[in-house]
């Protein structure tokens, strides 16, 4: 819900909390974060999340790929 309402900072904070608590993101988590990063001010976080997507092996998921295209587009 945060990402849909332009709350990128909150999405970033929640993602960092997930990492601190060793909660593994799934493709839905990545899609949400990437969509929240679809603005120039959030692109740095988006680049980091993109690297994480690749590290976790989600880059071949079509829906995650679409979110990446949306973020960079």
Q: Token match 């332009």: residue?
A: 6
Nearest to 33 by CA among 20, 21, 19: 19
Task: Read off the pTM.
Answer: 0.81
Contact 8/37 with Cβ under 8 angstroms?
A: yes
Q: How far apart are CA 49 and CA 12, in angstroms?
A: 10
Contact indicator for 62, 31 with CB cutoff of 8 Å: no
Contact between 15 and 2 under an 8 Å Cβ cutoff? The reply is no
pLDDT at residue 5 is higher than 60: no
Give the tens place of pLDDT for each residue, 26-65: 999 999 889 888 888 788 889 999 999 999 999 999 999 9
């Amino acid at each position: 819900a945060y990402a849909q309402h332009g709350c990128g900072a909150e999405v970033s904070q929640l993602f960092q909390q997930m990492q601190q608590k060793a909660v593994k993101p799934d493709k839905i988590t990545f899609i949400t974060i990437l969509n929240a990063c679809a603005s120039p001010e959030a692109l740095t976080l988006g680049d980091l999340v993109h690297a994480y997507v690749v590290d976790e092996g989600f880059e071949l998921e079509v829906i995650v790929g679409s979110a990446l295209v949306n973020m960079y587009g």
